[in-house]
Amino acid sequence: MRSAIITGITGQDGSYLCEFLLNEGYVVHGIVRRSSSLERPRLLSQYNNTEIYGKRLFLHYADLSDTTSIRRIVAHTKPDEFYHLAGQSHVGLSFEIPESTCELTAMGTLRIMEILRDQPNNPKLLHASSREIFGTPKISPQDEDTPQNPNSPYGCAKAFATQMVRVYRESHGSFFCNAICYNHESPRRAENFVTRKITLAVAKIKLGLQSKLMLGSVDSARDWGYAKEYAEAMWLILQHASPDDYVLATGTSHTVREFARIAFEHVGLDWQQHVELDKRFVRPADAASLLGDASKAERVLGWKAKTHMHELVRLMVDHDMKLLASMQPMIDQ
């Protein structure tokens, strides 16, 4: 039975990847950090499954800032594959907490590579890199060869980690790979990301629980895909015969304005009646338009994004409508 470690297993991508690997027959070891709450809602169905939890899914306490604990878990579990997804994943927030973002995302990744390099069984590494390494690129669409030019603390930290993955591959022959991910969303996206903020607000406004939605720059355009498909692509990257880097993207770009318009229209509302612009939500530096070229992933791995923005918006709004409707009796009390 193959085994894998996932850092960030409680996050959006980690939870989808966990389900995918369990379905593929893996033993999965998830790294979780201590928090005041034991609730891990994205892992709930696996956690409550007595055939899975404690048999093929194990959770271990560690933190990216605690290298010894990660080293011990790796030595003990001897994984074939290591998926490094943990980190402070919010670009805007990285301007407020740049030190910890860089410490954990940049140096944290380097420390994991050092741990893996010392292992006799040479585990493969997948690093969740980001299109933020390109900053505001002069070339569109961007691919694996587009020069790095990050313009946020998050982007700088990811750029360092991405380049170090290449250095280890070239210098030590390590099977280390970057998935250079464009935005990917889902009903599991945290509520402080603009897509989920919109879909939750749409559901609340439709149900009469909220009246207005405040947004920053509605002109920013993003290449939005479905997180579940990106988790599968991460696995495919490690199954290829040789290690390499791949852009994961849909190849289509849409503005926040379009996202909001489609979300409101899906429940029969006019977005202009409910959205207000608020400068507090505009980032200090923001890429105006980003578009990924994932043709290498399609050519080499046979992976192509299937769910595009319109379908993704509807899927997220439907989920949030159901979620809030199921909570309605509690809200009414």
The residues annotated as belonging to the active site are 130, 132, 154
Please, what is the minimum distance in Å from the beta carbon of residue 153 to ligand NAP? 12
Rank residues 104 and 275 by Cβ distance to ligand NAP and give the closer one: 104
Distance between CA atoms of residues 58 and 47, nearest Å:
9
Both tokens of residue 22?
């369990």
| Window contacting ligand NAP (CB under 6 A); options: 83-91, 114-122, 160-168, 211-219 | 83-91
Q: Which residue has the tokens 């509605």?
A: 218
167 phi and psi angles, rounded to 5 deg:
-60, -45
Question: Do strands 254-255 and 221-222 pair parallel, antiparallel, or not at all (unpaired)?
Answer: antiparallel
Provide the 10 A C-beta neighbour count for residue 271.
21
Which of residues 5, 43, 128, 294 is near ligand NAP by CB under 6 A? Answer: 128
Rank residues 205 and 246 by Cβ distance to ligand NAP and give the closer one: 246
| CB within 8 Å of 6: residues ≥ 6 apart | 14, 17, 18, 21, 28, 29, 30, 31, 83, 85
DSSP class of residue 3 equals E
Contact criterion met (CB below 8 Å) for 131 and 249: yes
Q: Which residue has the tokens 């998050």?
A: 154
Rank residues 11 and 153 by Cβ distance to ligand NAP and give the closer one: 11
Contact criterion met (CB below 8 Å) for 142 and 210: no
Please, what is the minimum distance in Å from the beta carbon of residue 303 to ligand NAP? 16
Q: Which residue has the tokens 């692509």?
A: 233
Per-residue CA distances from 94 to 99, 223, 279, 285 (Å): 8, 21, 18, 11
Any contact of residue 35 with ligand NAP (CB under 6 A)? Answer: yes
Rank residues 206 and 320 by Cβ distance to ligand NAP and give the closer one: 320
Distance between CA atoms of residues 253 and 315, nearest Å:
18
Please, what is the minimum distance in Å from the beta carbon of residue 208 to ligand NAP? 29
| Window contacting ligand NAP (CB under 6 A); options: 60-68, 166-174, 239-247, 279-287 | 60-68
Ranked by CB distance to ligand NAP, the top (closest) residue is: 11
| Window contacting ligand NAP (CB under 6 A); options: 4-12, 133-141, 255-263, 274-282 | 4-12
Identify the bridge partners of residue 184 per DSSP, sorted by sequence position. 225
Any contact of residue 101 with ligand NAP (CB under 6 A)? Answer: no
Any contact of residue 161 with ligand NAP (CB under 6 A)? Answer: no
Which of residues 89, 94, 146, 162 is near ligand NAP by CB under 6 A? Answer: 89
Rank residues 181 and 312 by Cβ distance to ligand NAP and give the closer one: 181
What residues from 175 to 234 belong to the interface with ligand NAP (CB under 6 A)?
A: 181, 183-184, 190
Distance between CA atoms of residues 292 and 208, nearest Å:
38
Which of residues 18, 85, 115, 177 is near ligand NAP by CB under 6 A? Answer: 85
Both tokens of residue 164?
């170090």
Rank residues 151 and 210 by Cβ distance to ligand NAP and give the closer one: 151
Rank residues 41 and 173 by Cβ distance to ligand NAP and give the closer one: 41
| Window contacting ligand NAP (CB under 6 A); options: 84-92, 138-146, 234-242, 279-287 | 84-92
Contact criterion met (CB below 8 Å) for 17 and 28: no
Per-residue CA distances from 67 to 58, 60, 61, 111, 114 (Å): 19, 13, 12, 7, 10
Any contact of residue 18 with ligand NAP (CB under 6 A)? Answer: no
Residue ranges binding ligand NAP (CB under 6 A): 7-8, 10-14, 33, 35, 63-65, 85-89, 104, 128, 130, 181, 183-184, 190
